[in-house]
Structure 1
Amino acid sequence: MATELTLTQTEEIRRLFALFSHVFDNGEVDALDQVFAADGAIELARTGSVFQGLDAIRKFNLSLGEHSPDHHTVDTVLSVDEDGTVRGRSRYLAILPDGSLHNGDYFDVLVHTEAGWRIAYRRSVPRYPLAGLH
């Protein structure tokens, strides 16, 4: 198995992470299949909530409504495990509807599908503020 990504693969994955923010933050639930694998999942470390599959991710996204944070993904580091698993670790900044700031880390497992790169699993681990967010 290759343990390094090509420049093209790296750029495709970085584009995927940027697309997440646009699609998720704008509630474009019909476009979430351009970001997540069909069986993809989001785990929120603070609450332990897991949204498994596109339908669950769509419902979660819709549930945020006008309270959806405005996400900015930065400082992404990509790696490939010896078994070929592609992983991403990114920092995120999220501006909340009241203007306050929230930040944390995304830990992603990525898969390459016929349609391109998709997030198979995203674990969102908040850093600050320490309380009150889901």
Structure 2
Amino acid sequence: MDKLSFEDISDIRGVLALFSHVFDNREVGDLHRVFTEDAVIEMTRGAGRVVDGLPAIAEFSLALGPDGPDHQTLDSHVFVDDAGAVRARSRYLAILQDGSVHNGDYLDVLERTTEGWRISRRVSIPRYPKE
């Protein structure tokens, strides 16, 4: 893909925004509206963790429980890279139960599916705290 339409960018930004709502509210039945079935989330904080596939993402969301982080997705930049992959780079803020805040970047790869744009890979890179 060489170029994204305004509609594509709008739809992708909608998917990026929807993540926080369905993930943080543990609306796991709607995670398919955000991620592909075979999506991978890689978290680089601490020892790191990889969550592979939609069922595992749902399990991860539920395991965080009602006191899990409250995510905010900000300043998303959507683009097509040199290889033709559709990507987004967003800032995130994660507010924890104790009021502390973590922030960083989401680096996403997106795919157009029959249901619309979905995240197929997300790498979460913390800025502060770094560990």
Deviation beyond 4 Å, 4+ runs, structure 1: none
**Corresponding residue for 1:124?**
124
Show the 5 A alignment for 1:1-134.
Answer: 1-2=1-2, 4-46=3-45, 47-131=47-131
Residue by residue over 1:20-64, the C-alpha shift from the partner in whole angstroms, topping out at 9 and shown as x without a partner, is 010001011111011000000110012321111111101111110
The alignment covers a number of residue pairs equal to 130
Q: Which residue identity lines up with residue 86 of structure 2 in the other structure?
A: V
Q: TM-score, normalised by structure 1?
A: 0.92
Which TM-score applies when normalising by structure 2? 0.94
Q: Any stretches of 5+ residues in structure 2 without a counterpart? A: none
Cα deviation for residue 74 of structure 1 reads 0.8
What amino acid maps onto 2:119 in structure 1?
I
Where in structure 1 are there 5+ consecutive unaligned residues? none
The SS at the match of 2:38 is strand
* Structure 2 letter corresponding to 1:9: D
Identity of aligned residues (%): 55
